[in-house]
Structure 1
Amino acid sequence: MSGQTVTVVLIDDEKNIRRVVRAALEADGMLVFDASTGLQGLAQAATRRPDLVIVDLSLPDMDGTEVIEELRAWSTVPVIVLSGRCREEDKVRALDAGADDYLTKPFGLPELLARIRAHLRRQARGSRAALSRVRFGTVTLDLGERRVLRGSETVHLSPIEYRLLSALAQHPGRVLTHHQLYQEVWGPTRSDNYHYLRIYMSHLRQKLESDPAQPEHIVTESGVGYRLIGVEDGPAG
């Protein structure tokens, strides 16, 4: 954040969670404003204009998914869900509502801090759509020329494979749900068919991963979707 203090709004009705998370974030140099209800949290977000929001799903006055939806009506701030709900449908609903990431309780503070830093870096870089190249591992995706290289060799992707890779590359580190990917690649008029999505993801891994059976970059969030990890943080040319 270029030396500026990072501001975080933390929305959770568990006082002990707020205390522990706040202490960890403040020890890392962040400024934290917390709230115990959804309405208080939305007010804090509107007033403080934070760099990142952390929200629980089980709040006393409204569901955390509603908080995310209301926030998304006027803000693109990164949102991390921190919740005791571990069902896949809860994760999918929160991510489809606009959350960028999802951690289940109990959680490790080092992992939370690492994910916060990753989302702040992505936010600071701006949209990957504005950059000409995205690199991960030995792969370079040239968005301007619509070309993919693995090392120095050109990789031939089908139009659908390319659109899937581009969607993931424009949101590095972020979980994209099956529904989000399907709508972006096949369009809103098509009915979701996640079987096709699995097939094309398998094709991408065969072409781009060193070990398609144990992918390092195009990773599965079980029952939820996919994310692209290991994208280089440096200039993309």
Structure 2
Amino acid sequence: MCAHVVVAEDDEKQAELARRYLEREGHSVVVVGDGRAALDEVRRQPPELLVLDVMMPTVDGLDVCRILRRESDLPVLMLTARSTEDDLLLGLDLGADDYMTKPYSPRELVARVRTLLRRSQRNRPPDDPVLRVGALRVDPARHEVSSDGRQVDCTPGEFALLHAMAAQPGRVFTREQLLGHLHGFDRYITNRTVDVHVMNLRKKIEPNPRRPSRLITVYGVGYKLTDAGDGSDRAR
């Protein structure tokens, strides 16, 4: 079973050893050296599994695991030099699927990865359906958006809002409800965050961003995504 694996490890020798053994098993491997880079890489190109060291700069592995668990069910194998029961339980409580203490055998690492991948394949639900709202197409599995047949590049936060609204077209979402979909995607969230994302999305998906016909403001309430079929449902 070959898979795309991200190894987040700041010890270069350990990272290189893990990479070599996993590639020998047939996996494609991306190595990153800190927690922030791990989050960015997982969001940029979601892997089938993350090998995650606990002690890392910028953002430690425990925080990385905590953040990712709010976003996905990505299998996580944690590595740590800590070996107490409390440390192990904390990692598992935060959502790690397995835990290895250093020093470890690279052959055991490969075996643990193989087991986790096999388990995740058995438990994986069908891919999310592609969502279509008028000329807008949102593909959660591929993290892709198109408008009028044209590919649209969205930030993770923009995609999270668009996905939420496309799943329930015509529903009015308050700003507070939309903010709830941004946790884990936007590092700094303020009351203006939703408005900024909406403004940027309109530039990307509206035929005329100055007269939006798809992403509509419902004054005093929030926003909704509509099928712009006849263009009659417009913001004033």
TM-score calculated relative to the size of structure 2: 0.51
Distance apart, 1:63 and its partner CA: 2.1
Percent of pairs identical after alignment? 37
* Partner AA of 1:92 in structure 2: L
Aligned partner of 1:43 in structure 2 is 40
TM-score calculated relative to the size of structure 1: 0.51
Structure 2 unaligned runs (5+)?
126-236
Could you tell me which of 14, 18, 29 is aligned with 1:17? 14
Matched, 1:101 2:90: no
Matched, 1:122 2:109: no
Q: How does 1:56-205 map to 2 (within 5 A)?
A: 56-126=53-123
- Per-residue CA shift, 1:173-223, capped at 9, x if unaligned? xxxxxxxxxxxxxxxxxxxxxxxxxxxxxxxxxxxxxxxxxxxxxxxxxxx
For 2:107, what is the secondary structure of its paired residue? helix
- Per-residue CA shift, 1:126-160, capped at 9, x if unaligned? 169xxxxxxxxxxxxxxxxxxxxxxxxxxxxxxxx
Distance apart, 1:90 and its partner CA: 1.1
Cα root mean square deviation, aligned:
1.4
* Partner AA of 1:28 in structure 2: E
For 1:60, what is the secondary structure of its paired residue? coil
C-alpha change, 1:99 and 1:15, in structure 2 (3 Å) is: same
Structure 1 unaligned runs (5+)?
129-237
Distance apart, 1:60 and its partner CA: 1.2
How many residues align structurally?
Answer: 125
Partners of 1:6 and 1:117 in 2: CA distance = 9
4+ long deviations beyond 4 Å: none
Higher relative contact order (CA 8 A, sep 6+): 1
* Partner AA of 1:61 in structure 2: T
* Partner AA of 2:8 in structure 1: I
Distance apart, 1:109 and its partner CA: 1.2
Distance apart, 1:83 and its partner CA: 1.1
- Per-residue CA shift, 1:64-111, capped at 9, x if unaligned? 110001111111011000111111111111100000000000001111
